[in-house]
Chains A and B, each alone.
Chain A
Amino acid sequence: MNAPVSRRRLLAQLSGALMGLLTLAAGLPAIGFLLSPLRRRSGEAQWVSLGLLEEFAGAIGPVRADFDYEARSGYRIQTVSNSVWVVAGNGNGQVPRVFSKTCTHLACNVSWKDDQQLFVCPCHGGKFGRDGAVVAGPPPEPLTVIESRVEEGELQIRLG
């Protein structure tokens, strides 16, 4: 091996190292920046009212309850409208059960079909009974139950 070649090789290797250094110096913060959402912030749970209990208690079929709540997304706090399914306690005085409307398969919104007496997911035909259990289709789990309580005659659900 003659001298110029080894000089070239040394310079090439040093250059490669410097490039690596620069990539690292700029790349590490960039990766941290991109992965920042992985750092969870513990959001405070909030109770949101769905309305007076008596509005749900008498219903026979599941009722869709719409509600607004304050959601924080980064620097922005905004009012978000959402809905859940409320399954009344058949007049037996029990607190109604509240189900998430999100299908446990791939997160489409399920709706109640009176003629089938089932929650039906429009995406892949997932079906759930009025107790939330999977009746047919691909969903791996029953509909998610959302924690609820009654306060001063109001049906409330827990978010966050």
Chain B
Amino acid sequence: MSDAVNPRLDTEPRPLVSVWRHLLDEPLPQGVGWFHVFGGLLLFFLALQGVTGALLGMYYSPSVTDAHASIEFIERDVTAGAFVRGLHHWGSSAIVVLAAVHLSQVFLWAAYKRPRRLLWVVGVLLFSVILGFGFTGYLLPWDLKAYFGTKVGISIAGSVPVIGDSVERILQGGDEVGPLTLTRFYGLHVTVLPLLLAGLIAIHLFLVRFRGITPPWKRVGEDGVATQRFWPDQAFRDLIATVIVFGVVAALAWWVKAPLEEAADPSNTTYQPRPEWYFNAPFQLLHWLDGPLTVVGTTVIPALGFLLLVLLPFYDRNPERRLRKRPLAAVTGSLVAISISMLTVIPMLEDRSAVAETADETASEESLPLESEKSSPQEKEQAGAPAGVRDEAASTSLSDAARRGEELYRRLDCAACHESASAGRGINVPPTLVRIGDRVQSAWLARYLAAPWRVRYQDEDERPVARMPDYGLAESEIVDLVAFLETFRDSSQIPAGIAGAVEDPTEAQVEAGRGVYEDYFCSSCHVLEGDGVGYGPDLDDVGRRLKADFLFKFLRDPTVMIPGTPMEVEVEEEDARALVRFLLTRKTE
């Protein structure tokens, strides 16, 4: 932009140009710099959401029959459709992160104090609108995650005392989460919230410009000397930061893509609802605050937290901005930040080892698969099976065979028995398929699926809850199903090669393993070569059934690897290795 005076300016008034110049020439105090890019970043990404949202709106259909299909169409058939949707998906996460940083920064520098108290209030309202976007947008793809996540979210709102029922009905638009909820959320997401957002942003920006940007670390009232202008000094920094963050979001959109599960199915009883990560904190809170305390988690803490946040500038009247002169604010702020971060991260970690975490709690209590229907959403979350069954990444990159296998898995409804909350927990119940891909050799699995026989630990006196039926699968179907089950892996728990050198053991090593087998009295529960007691699985053919890495890890830590297993012996590392060498040579003719 040239600074040369335009000769026409003297003669002809050009109001738009002068307003624009006035805006861009905003004087900025000394010290404003790279740390002040977050507002601009947010503005960019909110605008980007507007653009990608408008594009998606051209194909998306807010009806329960078409919503999921229209998203699939965008993903598969529309030029750049998956990328645009990816930008919208990851952009929303980026906005929450950026908004959190922006807000923390304003808190840290006490920029919310006089004369910018209203600016803070508007900012907090903007943050709530952003979360509102996240909540309403989550339902729109109408996949399992959307449906069940929203159901839980709404029922949390419904647990508010007195008005809860009405709030629930208003959010749902009817008796249950259904077509009316979808159109309602869509309406909120694409008209009400954007208008609110635009209005609040306008006020926010006006106030920023009206009050000026807070110079860092000054007392209230000490506003610094302007040494630079917004254009191009700060604009340049904002843009560099924007390009970097946009690069990250675009890379995620391109390579990771936005998730899309199968279409919502209200009859599914085994799905474990998960909120979007930025709603983890309130969800996690509800894990710990249950029973009579639920109301604390659903109402008291959120309401109080919001009020304390909005009203912060009105009760914090300390004129200091430097952190060490604000010990109370510093300590409280850090505690809140640490708590929220922990509440957000814990469910992520739990997801990785969902099954392991809860094995002990539920091992003996549950016996029938159908009991999972009765449990509340929160309890279901604790029971934790399906979401932890497979690596996240695996589901997005299935081979064709595995994809067909997944379809078959769904059609035969394998999940009904093998992903129920009690699967694998206790006696005579169907095994869980958690990490089945790590656990069992595919050739064995194929043989088993062709003609299932009884393998599991059983109690003679008790009738089994269910038996694996022979589905009479065709050979190609078995190949597909095995390919799909092979994706049930968990490399974080069972990294390849963890068993070490166990292949092709020498005669002496096998004999050493046999010694360990005897030392640990394995035969008191297992039968091998006709010797032992058959409580546990027969080990005669174990060399063809289990994979080395799994067997090793299982011997080291059985209850974690197979939740609910009655085997509770933990074998020392070297012994485990010797046992694996020995057991893997056990093959029947």
Contacts and interface: CB of A to CB of B under 8 A. Distances in A.
Interface of A: 5, 8-9, 11-12, 14-16, 18-19, 21-22, 25-26, 28-30, 32-36, 39, 41, 74-76
A12 B231 contact: yes
A92 B223 CA distance: 99
Interface stretch (B70-78, B368-376, B399-407, B527-535): B70-78
A25 B250 contact: yes
Contact of A21 (B1, B87, B243): B243
B5 to A, nearest CB: 13
A75 B66 contact: yes
B240 interface: yes
B293 interface: no
Q: Which of A9, A12, A41 has the most CB of B within 10 A?
A: A12
Nearest to B68: A75
Contact of B79 (A12, A21, A32): A32
A18 to B, nearest CB: 4
Contacts of A36: 77-81
B78 A33 contact: yes
A31 B152 CA distance: 38
A14 B235 CA distance: 10
Among B2, B44, B84, B239, the one with the most A-chain Cβ atoms within 10 Å of its Cβ is B239
26 contacts: A8-B3, A11-B232, A11-B236, A14-B236, A15-B231, A15-B232, A15-B235, A15-B239, A18-B239, A18-B240, A21-B243, A22-B242, A25-B246, A26-B48, A26-B51, A26-B87, A26-B246, A29-B83, A29-B84, A30-B51, A33-B55, A33-B78, A34-B55, A75-B69, A75-B70, A75-B72
B313 to A, nearest CB: 33
Given A22-B246, A33-B55, A33-B78, A5 B3 contact: yes
Interface in B181-237: 231-233, 235-236
Closest 4 CB pairs of A and B: A75-B73, A29-B80, A11-B232, A18-B239
Given A11-B236, A15-B236, A22 B70 contact: no
Contact of B232 (A8, A28, A34, A39): A8
A41 to B, nearest CB: 8
B59 interface: yes
B231 A19 contact: no
Interface residues on B, range: 20 to 34
A29 B86 CA distance: 11
B235 A33 contact: no
Nearest to A18: B239
Contacts of B69: 75-76
Contacts of A35: 79
A12 B1 contact: yes
Given A22-B243, A29-B87, A30-B52, 13 more contacts: A5-B3, A8-B232, A21-B243, A25-B250, A26-B246, A30-B80, A33-B55, A33-B79, A39-B79, A74-B73, A74-B77, A75-B69, A75-B73
Contacts of A30: 51-52, 55, 80, 84
Contacts of B83: 29
Contacts of B235: 11, 15
B81 A33 contact: yes
Nearest to B242: A22
Contacts of A76: 66, 69
Nearest to B44: A22
Contacts of B242: 18, 22
Contacts of B243: 18, 21-22
A65 B73 CA distance: 34
Contacts of B239: 15, 18-19, 22
Contacts of A32: 79-80
Contacts of B232: 8, 11-12, 14-15
Contacts of A34: 55, 58
Nearest to B71: A75
B236 to A, nearest CB: 5
Nearest to A76: B66
B54 to A, nearest CB: 9
A8 B52 CA distance: 33
A11 B84 contact: no
B257 to A, nearest CB: 13
Contacts of B70: 74-75
Nearest to A16: B1
Interface in B237-279: 239-240, 242-243, 246, 250
Contacts of A33: 55, 58, 78-81, 84
A34 B232 CA distance: 33
Contacts of A39: 79
Q: Which of A19, A22, A39, A75 has the most CB of B within 10 A?
A: A75
Nearest to A39: B79
A77 B1 CA distance: 54
A36 B77 CA distance: 8
B341 to A, nearest CB: 30
Interface string B52-63: 100100110000
Contacts of A19: 239
Contacts of A9: 1-3
A32 B82 CA distance: 12
A39 B72 CA distance: 18
Interface in B424-480: none
B4 to A, nearest CB: 10
A38 B265 CA distance: 35
A5 to B, nearest CB: 6
